[in-house]
Structure 1
Amino acid sequence: MKITGINLDVIWKNKEANFRNIEQALESQEADIFVLPEMFSTGFCMEASEVADSHEESLSFLRTMAKEKNAAFCGSAPVKQEGKFYNRMYFVHPDGQTDFYDKRHLFSFSGEDEVYTPGKERVIVHYKGFRILLQVCYDLRFPVFARNNDDYDMIIYVANWPEKRADAWEHLLKARAIENLCFVFGLNRIGTDGNDLFYRESSHCFFADGKEIAVKEGNIISADPDLQELLEFRKHFRFLDDRDHFTIKL
């Protein structure tokens, strides 16, 4: 399976411009899954009442792209639903079927927890034989929430993770892959946002042993995770059999 992400320089609060840039960046690309950054249509913005989708604008775009490319699309967007705001990660299948995960760990350092409502469910998507755990940015710092109970094969993280903390982002991505014996695809944005935070290119795809398997060309990052290779690795290194068992209370 091929997974491809865009290191997108997200235009601040400009959905149409971001939609156009994504279309152009992917015009000649082919993949089974395309990944876009956290809040790909607006940037990581706390003015939710100004930017949040109330008519599924970002979701409609993803569905259009999924149909055109005959591929799955995922990324997060600010969403307003029943008077509340969510940082919602969509996973849109080629036929338009949609799974979504509302970001559980809200970034209190930026005030995200004062604006958005945390999710209440851990979401695993089934696609082309893979079981995929959906996670958003700050979730990466909380390994218990991502603990593999033999229920997934890959984690996809979408993020707006600034350059000044990018080393932590990269080390934690690798750690999640090693400790959970899974593929980890972490997609970050690039450029400078409306808060003058700079984001350097720092997207990766790691195998269960911590090795990088992604190929980067321009602002495109791609990987070809092999499920059979992962299953053979787990069969040989049965570390998950010795994991601690606990219940997560959401």
Structure 2
Amino acid sequence: MQHDIAWEDPETTRAKTEPMIAEAAGAGARLIVLPEMFATGFSMQPELIAEDEGGPTEQFLVQQAAEHAAHLVGSVAQRGEDGRYRNNAVLARPDGSVTRYAKIHPFSFAGEHERYAAGSDFVTVDVEGLRVSLFVCYDLRFADEFWALAATTDLYLVPANWPRPRHEHWRALLRARAIENQAYVLGVNRIGAAADLPHDGGSALIDPLGATVFEADTAAAVHTGDVEADVVQQTRTTFPFLADRRA
């Protein structure tokens, strides 16, 4: 799901995304992914936008997952039990359970590291037999984090707020992470401007050989594509490059 975001206005943005989620589910999507900080924008004012874990935006994802019998993922600014703010990728399941991944690499170029605590733990979950690893935006630049999970990953998810000036980096890195780990990579970017910084979308699903399953343009839209664990296994059997990787 590629969409614009009402700046620091989660209620408005949640309302805008609801029909898009229904559209995705209606098209048969079993895993629906939204951008980074999809309800508020990439705000460096967590004291204004962050919610407690289990707060309204997380509950929105849970409710939508249950309503559409699908898994939903989106990044949310949240306050943990320790009182620290984190940029969490939240995966909501149809049964109401959630898994959270805290962004390991806060974006220091924008001062995110000064406002949000860095995560420390990798997260890989099972989604209907598909092994799915969660990352967020800036994590995409750090190949070693993806390498560490390659053996147990079929699909990497990367919700993002990746701006126009570095859009070609986004395109190249999505493909690099797919090729070098022989896994699918789904990058979901926002559109629209935030603090006069434009975002051009370009959400894309890349297969284990680096081929493009789909690549969005700059418009708000729902895109769907098939991800198959068997394709990952077949690719790795035919081209057993991962076995030659040195620790």
Instruction: Give TM class, smaller chain.
Output: over 0.9
The answer on whether the counterparts of 2:24 and 2:32 sit within 8 Å (CA) in structure 1 is: no
Number of the residue aligned with 1:121 = 121
Distance 1:25 1:151 in 2: 31
1:91-240 superposed matches below 5 A: 91-147=91-147, 148-193=149-194, 195-214=195-214, 219-240=221-242
How far the C-alpha of 1:28 sits from its partner, in A, is 3.0
Number of the residue aligned with 1:248 = none
Provide the secondary structure at the position in 1 that maps to 2:121.
coil
Give a deviation string over 1:7-62, Cα, whole Å, max 9, x none: 11011011111111111223333210110100011000001101101261111000
Give a deviation string over 1:122-144, Cα, whole Å, max 9, x none: 11011111111100000000000
TM-score, structure 2 as length reference: 0.93
Name structure 2 gaps, 5 residues minimum: none
Residue identity in the other structure for 2:130: F
Residue identity in the other structure for 1:165: R
Name structure 1 gaps, 5 residues minimum: 1-5, 246-250
Structure 1 residue corresponding to 2:24, chosen from 15, 22, 29: 29
The answer on whether the counterparts of 2:150 and 2:183 sit within 8 Å (CA) in structure 1 is: no
Number of the residue aligned with 1:73 = 72
The ranges of structure 1 where at least 4 consecutive aligned residues each deviate by more than 4 angstroms after the TM superposition are 215-218
Provide the secondary structure at the position in 2 that maps to 1:187.
strand
Structure 2 residue corresponding to 1:39, chosen from 19, 37, 40: 37
Give 1 or 2: higher helix fraction.
Answer: 2
Distance 1:120 1:232 in 2: 32
Label 1:16 to 1:159 Cα distance change in 2 as closer, same or farther (>3 A): same
How far the C-alpha of 1:114 sits from its partner, in A, is 0.3
Distance 1:87 1:218 in 2: 23
The answer on whether the counterparts of 1:215 and 1:223 sit within 8 Å (CA) in structure 2 is: no
How far the C-alpha of 1:214 sits from its partner, in A, is 2.1
Residue identity in the other structure for 1:178: I
Residue identity in the other structure for 2:161: N
Count of residue pairs brought into register by the alignment: 239
The answer on whether the counterparts of 2:23 and 2:222 sit within 8 Å (CA) in structure 1 is: no
Distance 2:48 2:230 in 1: 46
Distance 1:159 1:241 in 2: 30
The answer on whether the counterparts of 1:215 and 1:222 sit within 8 Å (CA) in structure 2 is: no
Distance 1:215 1:190 in 2: 14
